[in-house]
Amino acid sequence: MNVGIVCPYDWDVPGGVQAHVRDLAEALIAMGHRVSVLAPADPDDDAAAALPDYLVPAGRTVPVPYNGAVARLNFGVISATRVRRWLREGDFDVVHVHEPTVPGLSLLACFAARGPLVATFHTAIERSRLMAVAASALQPGLEKISGRIAVSEAARSTLIAHLGGDAVLVPNGVNAAHFASAEPLPGWPGEGGALGFLGRIDEPRKGLDVLVDAFERLAPKRPALRLLIAGPGDTDEVSEALAPELRSRVTLLGLVDEGTKARMLKSVDVYVAPNTGGESFGIVLLEALAAGTPVLASDLEAFSQVLDGGAAGRLFPVGDAEALAQAAGELLDSPQERDLLRTAGAAVAKRYDWSSVARQVLAVYEAVR
């Protein structure tokens, strides 16, 4: 099949949607399909040499505040012309846009497309007046979409609340082999046990505070227990907030690349996801499961769903440091339970592997052709 995929966010900036589009495109290509991805990217940039063959750069972006963050998007007459040309030259069997409610390339593609159109909705947001107003303005473009996909129940609920109608659920995928084959970092996890955390360290919703609180409860009784933290943010600030005697037992890696992320997940006995809210899917949980690391997560709906209600990972009440500490202690003391979780987790990771997720996306393409 000849597929055109549109990503509204800057290809040069790391992000969930970009990673999703990249992995989907590569999985489809591996299955023998022809794929072209249109995304904002600066073709004159030094990074252009590193752009994959299937990517068609759509020029530089403009920063736009969206959903509490700054998104770099591009739109306007020049972009619209580029989109039309890409559609004409590509002559696609199916055009697959991502996040079409974001003002950018995907929306432009909706307006310009003539053939079968599929859209994936990634975001879960509160009902907003802006979205309600925008929805009616976007309707002429959105009503051309023949097949709507949501990546999670939360994203699907958002779509239903803002736009009405329905969508089919096709989850985010994970590149299971990449995580399964990673090597632990040198010296990890060590004899005394290790807990891991991955995410923005200065964002309260990621819940690092809860984990640090739990670690302080566990540390006195487990003198060799260590904590491995990866993610962007001010590492000095986190370090200074720790009790002085614990500082040597907490390792802060800062922002890590994809390879180090996989190794970091392999390096700990238990991966902890203490998030207090705002997660629509929890892809990092799947990455930990794919790495074969038992997961201990707060019982957010999205996490509970990924972990099969607790069968593929332990859950604890959101924000409850004492419960976290107790569950982590039990897991560290029980290699048997960790093995059970590892086996159940591997089955879940396989279900979400891109090879299986891409087949589900392909079934959607076939349904609208």
Give the whole-angstrom CA distance, residue 46 versus residue 14: 16
Choices 51-59, 164-172, 234-242, 331-339; region in contact with another protein by CB under 8 A:
164-172
Closest by Cα among 182, 177, 188, 250 to 213: 250
Between helices 283-290 and 258-266, what is the axis angle to 10°? 60
Of the candidates 14, 43, 76, 140, which one interacts with another protein according to CB under 8 A?
A: 140
* Span 287-346, contacts to another protein by CB under 8 A: 301
Residue of 146, 260, 276, 355 interacting with another protein (CB under 8 A)? 146
- Cα–Cα distance for residue pair 207/166, rounded to 1 Å: 32
Eight-state DSSP code of residue 353: B
Span near another protein by CB under 8 A; candidates 152-160, 182-190, 207-215, 258-266: 152-160
| Stretch binding another protein (CB under 8 A), from 37-45, 156-164, 289-297, 332-340 | 156-164
Structure tokens, 344: 């159940």
57 or 171: CB nearest another protein: 171
Site for another protein contains 368 (CB under 8 A): yes
Could you tell me the smallest distance in angstroms from the CB atom of residue 34 to another protein? 22
Q: Are 315 and 282 within 8 A, CB to CB?
A: no
Q: How far is the CB of 126 from another protein (least distance, A)?
A: 6
SS3 sequence of 274-306:
CCCCCCCCCHHHHHHHHCCCCEEEECCHHHHHH
Asked if residue 120 binds another protein (CB under 8 A), the reply is no
191-206 in b/e burial notation, b at 16+ Cβ within 10 A? eebbbbbbbebeeeeb
Instruction: Kindly tell me which of 355 and 360 has the beta carbon lying closer to another protein.
Output: 360
Cα Dmax for the chain: 66
Least separation in angstroms between CB 67 and another protein = 7
- The reply to whether omega before 189 is within 30° of 0 (cis) is yes
Residues 6+ apart with CB under 8 A from 118: 94, 95, 96, 97, 145, 146, 147, 148, 149, 364, 365, 368
Q: Which residues of 231-243 are buried (b: 16+ CB within 10 A; e: fewer)?
A: bebebeebeeebe
**One residue of 89, 166, 240, 330 binding another protein per CB under 8 A:** 166
In the stretch 201-240, what mask flags binding to another protein with x, by CB under 8 A? ----------------------------------------
Q: Is 276 in the site for another protein (CB under 8 A)?
A: no
Alpha-carbon gap, residue 69 to 348, rounded angstroms = 31
Which of residues 6 and 306 has its CB atom nearest to another protein in the complex? 306
Nearer to another protein, 121 or 215 (CB): 121
Query: Residue 23 Cβ, how far from another protein at the closest point, in Å?
Result: 16
CB of 367 to another protein, least distance (A): 4
Strand order, beta sheet including 147-150: 55-57, 34-39, 2-6, 94-98, 117-121, 147-150, 168-169
Residues near another protein (CB under 8 A), total: 44
Give the number of other CB atoms < 10 A from CB of residue 137: 10
Min separation Cβ 356 and another protein, Å:
8
Q: Is 278 in the site for another protein (CB under 8 A)?
A: yes
Binding positions for another protein, 56-85, rule CB under 8 A:
67-69
| Closer CB to another protein, 80 or 368, in the complex | 368
170 binds another protein (CB under 8 A): yes
Task: Figure out which of the listed residues 26, 42, 93, 153 binds another protein, where binding follows CB under 8 A.
Answer: 153
- Name the nearest CA neighbour of 102 among 7, 4, 5: 7
Residue 224 DSSP class: T
Q: Which is nearer to another protein, 4 or 199 (CB)?
A: 199
Where along the sequence are the contacts to another protein (CB under 8 A)? 67-69, 123-127, 140, 143-144, 146-148, 153-154, 156-158, 160-161, 164-171, 277-280, 301, 351-352, 357, 360, 363-364, 366-369
